[in-house]
Chains A and B, each alone.
Chain A
Amino acid sequence: DTGVSQNPRHKITKRGQNVTFRCDPISEHNRLYWYRQTLGQGPEFLTYFQNEAQLEKSRLLSDRFSAERPKGSFSTLEIQRTEQGDSAMYLCASGDRAYEQYFGPGTRLTVT
């Protein structure tokens, strides 16, 4: 059990560019979550996968955001046409039971 890993840890991009983040969950965890955390706030739920199926999406997930989890293993979160308001820490968590959520260290995005 090596824990949840996220790459990159930091990303600086210019407004309007596309970015993609990767999350590698703990092996064999079938649940995977994405959260966003802005400065001074707690994490906010973005989306949830059970295996490869994306079962829930928050209204925070605008149409510029897309998440995938091919083959039910790693997951990617892509943001198109980034805006300064997208600057945040993006957290991934995985688990194999209800309410079991092991968090990764996060990817910090800065949009300039």
Chain B
Amino acid sequence: AQSVTQPDIHITVSEGASLELRCNYSYGATPYLFWYVQSPGQGLQLLLKYFSGDTLVQGIKGFEAEFKRSQSSFNLRKPSVHWSDAAEYFCAVGPPSGAGSYQLTFGKGTKLSVIP
């Protein structure tokens, strides 16, 4: 069965510092990969996705992620964090193209706190 591991439950960074959130997945084939952000009282918002091709993908709000097949990882990065980035971040996987619901399997999330 597929699974997603986000090893860091909570990360605190200073505003302006760089950020890397880790994500590892277990899947029978290379899945489609996603990062979502959830702010209090808000729905999940898609930051970026990887389907194929260039392993470095750019997303919204200045985020990027790199897919590393050999490490089964899809880490999220941002060069300079803003206070408004404080939220919970979820990595998710979905089955590669084909029939079905395209349901997502999520990790447990990483809560990001930003020190002004």
Contact = CB atoms under 8 A, between A and B. Distances in A.
A45 B68 CA distance: 26
A98 B102 contact: yes
A41 B108 contact: yes
Interface residues of A, number: 25
Interface in B6-33: 9, 32
A19 B100 CA distance: 29
B103 interface: yes
B109 A42 contact: yes
A48 B103 contact: yes
A19 B56 CA distance: 44
Interface stretch (B59-67, B70-78, B89-97): B89-97
B45 A103 contact: yes
Contacts of A45: 101, 103-105
B81 interface: no
Interface range on chain B (Cβ under 8 Å from partner)? 20 to 34
Contacts of B90: 42-43
A109 interface: no
A44 B105 CA distance: 7
B97 A98 contact: yes
Interface string A18-57: 0000000000000101000000111111001010000110
Interface of B: 4, 9, 32, 34, 36, 41-46, 49, 51, 90, 92, 94, 97, 100-109
10 contacts: A33-B101, A33-B103, A40-B9, A40-B108, A48-B101, A91-B43, A93-B43, A99-B34, A103-B36, A103-B44
